[in-house]
């Protein structure tokens, strides 16, 4: 945690210096903070990771829909997927000192929830531009972090965007909460599995139908990568 705080303060200044650079270079510079944090998690806390199904990532526009158990994946995925990621997040995050300043330099999609229905229209408008520019959009359909062995309510915002933009979705299951638990200061050594499913076409589907398929794949895969967490069920 000490290294994270120090690195965040220092790296926010580096990001400001990188602001005039072309976007891909700016993204690379900013994401080195993420690489350093994952390295620290490995060598200080013993948290390793492995990919399963990495070859399922397409060489085309995609919307990533991921399980969300920990802060770990918000750090890890940004620096370890084949294309630059665009997160959809609450705009209040931009106001966090140092961290928010670095995020503001990237082409993320902040949501102003006070705008109600207009907030999603803004997500679609920004999303179309980001996908056209070659970035991938990532969303956590459960909305918030869930505890190991539990399941949140899957919301259709990500699949609504997929249907609106006719973009395939890529589901991701991961068990990061076993090493980096929600709201826990203590981290546990182990290996996190990041399992990538095959792209699912949005063509001819409603957002709810598409989300049902995403949910089924993620939750069934969770029982494959973390069988002990679901043995009671």
Does 19 map to a domain? no
**pLDDT tens by residue, 190-232:** 999 999 999 999 999 999 999 999 999 999 999 999 999 987 6
Closest CA to 87 of 122, 138, 141: 138
Average pLDDT, the chain: 90
Whole-angstrom distance, CA of residue 53 vs CA of residue 173: 11
List, for residues 101-152, the tens digit of each pLDDT value: 677 777 788 776 666 666 778 888 888 999 999 999 999 999 889 999 999 9
pLDDT greater at residue 55 or residue 143: 55
Determine, yes or no, domain membership for 13.
no
Question: Residue 197 domain-assigned?
Answer: yes
Supply 162's token pair.
Answer: 């997929």
Does a structural domain hold residue 39? no
pTM, two decimal places = 0.91
In a domain, 87, yes or no: yes
- pLDDT at position 143 is 87
What pLDDT is recorded for position 115? 65
Q: How many domains does the chain have?
A: 1
The better pLDDT of the pair 64, 19 is held by 64
Tell me the pLDDT tens digit for each residue of 67-105: 999 999 999 999 999 999 998 877 777 777 777 767 777
Neighbours of 25 (CB within 10 A): 11
Q: Is residue 207 part of a domain?
A: yes
What gap in Å lies between CA 7 and CA 139, rounded to an integer? Answer: 26
The answer to whether residue 122 sits within a structural domain is yes
CB 33 within 8 A of CB 11: yes
Structure confidence at residue 170 (pLDDT): 98
What number of other Cβ atoms are within 10 A of residue 19's Cβ? Answer: 12
Domain that holds residue 150: 48-93+110-229
Evaluate whether residue 1 is within a structural domain. no
């Amino acid at each position: 945690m000490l290294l994270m705080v120090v690195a965040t303060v220092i790296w926010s200044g580096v990001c400001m210096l990188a602001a005039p650079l072309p976007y891909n270079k700016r993204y690379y510079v900013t994401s080195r903070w993420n690489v350093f944090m994952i390295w620290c998690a490995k060598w200080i806390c013993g948290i390793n990771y492995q990919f399963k199904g990495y070859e399922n990532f397409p060489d085309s526009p995609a919307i990533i829909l991921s399980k969300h158990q920990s802060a770990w994946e918000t750090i890890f995925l940004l620096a370890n997927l084949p294309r630059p990621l665009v997160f959809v997040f609450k705009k209040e995050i931009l106001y966090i000192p140092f961290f928010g300043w670095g995020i503001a330099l990237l082409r993320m999609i902040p949501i102003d929830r006070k705008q109600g229905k207009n907030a999603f229209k803004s997500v679609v408008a920004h999303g179309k531009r980001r996908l056209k520019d070659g970035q991938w959009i990532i969303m956590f359909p459960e909305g918030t972090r869930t505890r190991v062995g539990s399941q949140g309510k899957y919301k259709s915002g990500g699949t609504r965007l997929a249907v609106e933009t006719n973009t395939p979705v890529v589901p991701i299951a991961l068990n990061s909460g076993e090493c980096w638990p929600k709201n826990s200061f203590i981290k546990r050594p182990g290996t996190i599995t990041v399992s990538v499913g095959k792209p699912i076409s949005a063509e001819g589907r409603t957002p709810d139908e598409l989300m049902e398929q995403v949910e089924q794949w993620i939750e069934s895969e969770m029982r494959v990568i973390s069988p002990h967490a679901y043995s009671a069920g």
